[in-house]
Chains A and B, each alone.
Chain A
Amino acid sequence: MSIIKDVPSGTKPFKRAYVAIFLWFTGRAVQAAARVDREVKKEFDSLPENFTFSLGCLPSGPRMVIGKEGGRVKYLGSDPKGRRVHVRLIIKSVDAAFLLLSFQESTALSTARNRLMVDGEIPQALSIIRVLNIVEVYLLPKIIASLAVKRYPSWWSMGRKLGGRIGVYTRTLLGI
């Protein structure tokens, strides 16, 4: 028997499933928020037609892909289906993705700790980060959203928060 053993690296099914479900839900929520929130719509309007971005983790996902088609924002699942991806937000590992998406680390802290990579234009990536921040504020209760975003938008009116939340959740669950 060789003194050097081959050791397969194993899997992390729980963390992988959590990240996959989170990205699936967030992807649908981004699609919904683009129809409900004016600020999100404005951010997407500033991006070119057929713009596509993905957020996922190395080496083989999970990931979510979102694209703009005919002026409408669409969640495309986990596969870009041959489309050119203009901006890739890449999390270096499932562990890092779990830390970020379970709100143990904010996006800013994760970036500072060198867990995220961006492949694409920085201004477009920043637009996406702003969109994701708004979506997180809609999806999460204040106490959790404060951990996830750099600055919780306490200046938002109650109407925007409540109305937006109802709209985003309804559209996310129905997939419209």
Chain B
Amino acid sequence: MDLSAGFVFTCPFKTNSGNKALSHLPVELAGFNAARPLVVASAGTEGQKAVRILKSAFGDSGMTLALFDNVTQAADLGLVDHLKNLCLEKKVDAVIALGGGKAADVAKVLNLAVSLKTPDARQLLPETPIRVRLLPLVVAPAAGADGLETSRFAHLGRKVFSSESLAPVLAVLDPCLAKGKSSIGMAAAGLAALGRAVESHIQADQNPFRKAYSFAAIRFVRENLPAAVADPGNRKASLALLNAAAMSGCAFSNAAAGRLHKLGQVFYDLLGIPQGVIMAMCLPHILGDYLKEGQYDLAALFQPLAGDDAFARTPAGKRAEAACDLLNRFLKELQDALGKDLPKSLAEAGVPGYRKEEILDVLGADEEGRYLCGIVERVANGRPERKG
């Protein structure tokens, strides 16, 4: 590995993982001089269950939590503005993002608005300068967390906020929160983490720290996703997936946004389709193209996917192709296990033609728009990979 070009790596958060990790949260908050945290959680039964677990973890701490447990897919900057005023009124001094997805995005942007004391949070822009230290943000991802919780990104109202300051200071990964209910939920979360970790791992610029995180994330997903899909309540496998998601978020924060991420995010923002589902559809096509382009280090994927023995047995020249085959087989096995729950094409996912056009319009504005639109066309009806 040639490191002469230099590299930068930041992992701004501490990780508390394992049995009863949540019960340490009051002490950790005290370490940040915080005594009045705001908990941001999703609406619905999953969010309520997570709130019950968190409340129990705070038992005997003497703290009073401020709770907003109604984050929906439709959350926008208007909601953030309303919450910001209430937070300033209640003198909130820390933010806890409970669960994943939109709750984490809202928590990050809300933290920004509260810390900057922005008069109108609807005017917040990705370019808004951050000149103050933000309140401590803690993320406690639950089953279904896709890894973006620990990243420096927040997607809200078609805006993408990106700053190291937005990343959490603490990630709490507790098995009580990790256990899922549906196999497809676990698969989508694991595949989103896998997609981002794969793209971070193969990027051309050398960054050994990032590779260490993405390596572990890929291996954790490879080893634990089948077990978590077979039994979403599997404590060991689901905690391993949560760790993989957290690591993939950190690796992704230190890499350029890849094609898989862009595709997954657009479908999630516009149609609410989980990013992992779209990534699983697109991954074979994109990896096939990467293999042909030859700019990416696909051979580096072979060791975390196949294990050390297989890596040692395989000649260096064949590792890239073997890694692609292995990943395709892995996805095929998951698709076979989940049947129609994990669609192989947009048609199977029930995306109507007019929504596809909307997606293409948004993707067209990207610098790689033409290529991304081509991928969408390829996965629209599940056509096989382009030859030649």
Where the two chains meet, the residues of A that have a C-beta atom closer than 8 Å to any C-beta of B are 2-12, 15-16, 58-60, 92-96, 99, 113-115
Name, among B55, B60, B61, the residue most crowded by chain A CB atoms within 10 Å (CB to CB). Answer: B60
Given A59-B30, A92-B24, A113-B19, A4-B87 contact (CB < 8 Å)? yes
A112 vs B218: C-alpha distance when bound (angstroms): 26
A3 vs B18: C-alpha distance when bound (angstroms): 32
Where the two chains meet, the residues of B that have a C-beta atom closer than 8 Å to any C-beta of A are 16, 18-20, 23-24, 26-27, 30, 38-39, 51, 55-70, 82-83, 86-87, 90
Other contacts beyond A8-B65, A95-B20: 13, CB < 8 A: A3-B70, A4-B66, A5-B68, A9-B26, A9-B65, A10-B60, A92-B24, A92-B27, A93-B20, A93-B60, A96-B20, A96-B23, A113-B18
Q: How far, in Å, is B148 (CB) from chain A's closest CB?
A: 24
Whether A4 lies near B24 (C-beta < 8 A) is: no
A59 vs B55: C-alpha distance when bound (angstroms): 16
Q: Which residues of B contact A11 (CB under 8 A)?
A: 59-60
Q: Which residue of B lies closest to A93 (CB)?
A: B23
Q: Which residues of B contact A15 (CB under 8 A)?
A: 60
Give the contacting residue for A59; candidates B20, B61, B82; CB below 8 A.
Answer: B61
A4 vs B55: C-alpha distance when bound (angstroms): 15
Interface class of chain A by DSSP: loop
Whether B60 lies near A8 (C-beta < 8 A) is: no
Give the contacting residue for B59; candidates A4, A6, A10, A114; CB below 8 A.
Answer: A10
Q: Which residues of A contact B26 (CB under 8 A)?
A: 9, 58-59, 93
Q: Which residues of A contact B51 (CB under 8 A)?
A: 7
Q: Which residues of B contact A5 (CB under 8 A)?
A: 66-69
Whether A9 lies near B55 (C-beta < 8 A) is: yes
A2 vs B23: C-alpha distance when bound (angstroms): 28
Q: Which residues of B contact A58 (CB under 8 A)?
A: 26-27, 30
Whether A96 lies near B24 (C-beta < 8 A) is: yes
Whether A12 lies near B82 (C-beta < 8 A) is: no
Q: Which residues of A contact B57 (CB under 8 A)?
A: 95
A59 vs B63: C-alpha distance when bound (angstroms): 10
Q: Which residues of B contact A114 (CB under 8 A)?
A: 16, 24
Whether A59 lies near B62 (C-beta < 8 A) is: yes
A95 vs B51: C-alpha distance when bound (angstroms): 17
Q: Which residues of B contact A60 (CB under 8 A)?
A: 60, 62
Nearest 10 Cβ contacts at the A-B interface: A9-B58, A95-B23, A93-B23, A12-B59, A7-B65, A92-B27, A94-B60, A5-B67, A7-B67, A4-B86
Whether B23 lies near A3 (C-beta < 8 A) is: no
Q: Which residues of B contact A7 (CB under 8 A)?
A: 39, 51, 55, 64-67
Given A93-B27, A94-B60, A96-B20, A6-B65 contact (CB < 8 Å)? yes
